[in-house]
Structure 1
Amino acid sequence: MKYIEIDEELYRYIASKTEKIGESASDILRRLLALSVTDSEESQPVTVTVSQPSLESNYQPNSLPDEPEAGATEFQFSQAQLEEQKGAVGRFLYALSSLQQQAPKKFAAVLQVQGRDRLYFARSKDELLQASQSSNPKEIGNSGYWVTTNNNTAKKQAILTEAIQALGCNESVAVALANQALSK
């Protein structure tokens, strides 16, 4: 896996060139640069760290680091696995399970994601059912974390965005990842 660092403006430009739902940044760049895609290139994910360089950093715009900067938070979802899921609930649970696997030590932060009068995440099914009998709780993989699933897709997308932010991503990256997972 290779890593590149791009600034927020470039990330938004690439995202603005999306032509179809689920199109990856790599696909967009290949299309814009008129490059062909081979099977081996499609199967190897690339993680992009989006950051805003500070004046104090040793930021060099032409350098491509071998690994992300210390403290950078990055996540990725397998597009193939997302497409295998049944409906929005399946994609929602897959995305959350993927996040939990990628950041197991930080994942408890999602427990802070709550609605004004609603509990979205808990450590048990009963905790969610006590908060709302209609929550339709589902376990996130085998993580021991549970999530309410009876929200509409737009609300699931908002919850997923907040969860990704709680794990350390900035808002634009969180929105892009949630869109990738739940826009179909």
Structure 2
Amino acid sequence: MKTIEIDDDLYQFIASQTQQIGESASDILRRLLIVSLTEAQAPVVPVAQKTTEVQVKEETKPEVKPAAQAVVEKAVASAVPVGKSSSVFDFISPQDLSAEQSVVGRFLFILSALSRAHRGDFAQVLEIKGRNRLYFGQSEASLLEAGSSTNPKPIPNTDFWVITNSNTTRKKMMLTEVATKLGYDAAEVERIRDLL
């Protein structure tokens, strides 16, 4: 296996293409590249010659080795069916989650995945509040005004901010409330909370 360095924005794009939990970056790239190659290998029809005959070049397919064919079949079989509603588990891979070294990093990563899975409904997080403080806001300033030492951070790839100075138990409670608001059942809520 080779290691390559890529920019953060490219990595975020690759991660956003995750279709199932546990899908590696290699699997995602392979799936995306195979689709691109398949589209590029459409039959070639040359321009008609001076006569009225049109010659059609026979489509040639590249030789696919059995190992590569197995990878393609695995990627196709594991793809999320079209029309299936998104779930946060479609956007989180164990490798990506384990790359986040801190609790705050994992917390922000999970919230970002929830946002990608529920783009239209994620604004509901603004309704989640503590007794005396806001947990979520649309700006850093709104969270700073609502309480002292909140340490607000932006949720990656969203227009939302979240306080991060709370303890891990409070962060798990916040994830529980977010997942519940977004329609997850009790077992899924527990799985999401346990990702932290």
User: Does residue 123 of structure 2 align to residue 112 of structure 1?
Assistant: no
Q: Give the counterpart of 1:137 among 128, 143, 152.
A: 152
Q: Which structure is richer in relative contact order (CA contacts within 8 A, separation 6 or more)? A: 1
Given that residues 2 and 67 in structure 1 are in contact (C-alpha distance below 8 angstroms), is that contact kept between their aligned partners in structure 2? no
Give the counterpart letter for 1:163 in structure 2: V
Q: How far 1:67 moved relative to its partner? A: 7.0
Residue number in structure 2 paired with 1:164: 179
Q: Give the counterpart of 2:188 among 150, 166, 173.
A: 173
| Separation in structure 2 between the aligned mates of residue 162 and residue 108 of structure 1, nearest angstrom | 13
What is the root-mean-square deviation of aligned Cα atoms in Å?
3.0
User: Does residue 143 of structure 2 align to residue 128 of structure 1?
Assistant: yes
| Separation in structure 2 between the aligned mates of residue 78 and residue 131 of structure 1, nearest angstrom | 34
In structure 1, the gaps of 5 or more residues are 4-23, 25-39, 48-65
| Separation in structure 2 between the aligned mates of residue 45 and residue 99 of structure 1, nearest angstrom | 21
SS in 2 for 1:114: coil
> Which stretches of structure 1, 4 residues or more, deviate above 3 A after TM superposition?
44-47, 66-69
SS in 1 for 2:153: strand
Q: Deviations over 1:52-101 (max 9, x none)?
A: xxxxxxxxxxxxxx6787xx663212111110012100000000011111
Q: Deviations over 1:30-72 (max 9, x none)?
A: xxxxxxxxxx67xx9788xxxxxxxxxxxxxxxxxx6787xx6
Given that residues 115 and 158 in structure 2 are in contact (C-alpha distance below 8 angstroms), is that contact kept between their aligned partners in structure 1? yes
| Separation in structure 1 between the aligned mates of residue 19 and residue 145 of structure 2, nearest angstrom | 45
| Separation in structure 2 between the aligned mates of residue 115 and residue 122 of structure 1, nearest angstrom | 13
Given that residues 136 and 163 in structure 2 are in contact (C-alpha distance below 8 angstroms), is that contact kept between their aligned partners in structure 1? yes
Residue number in structure 2 paired with 1:62: none
Aligned residues: 127
- TM-score normalized by the length of structure 1: 0.59
Change (3 A) 1:67 1:178: farther
Give the counterpart letter for 2:126 in structure 1: L
Change (3 A) 1:68 1:88: same
In structure 2, the gaps of 5 or more residues are 1-17, 23-70
Residue number in structure 2 paired with 1:149: 164
Identify, as 1 or 2, the structure richer in strand. 1
Identify, as 1 or 2, the structure richer in helix. 2
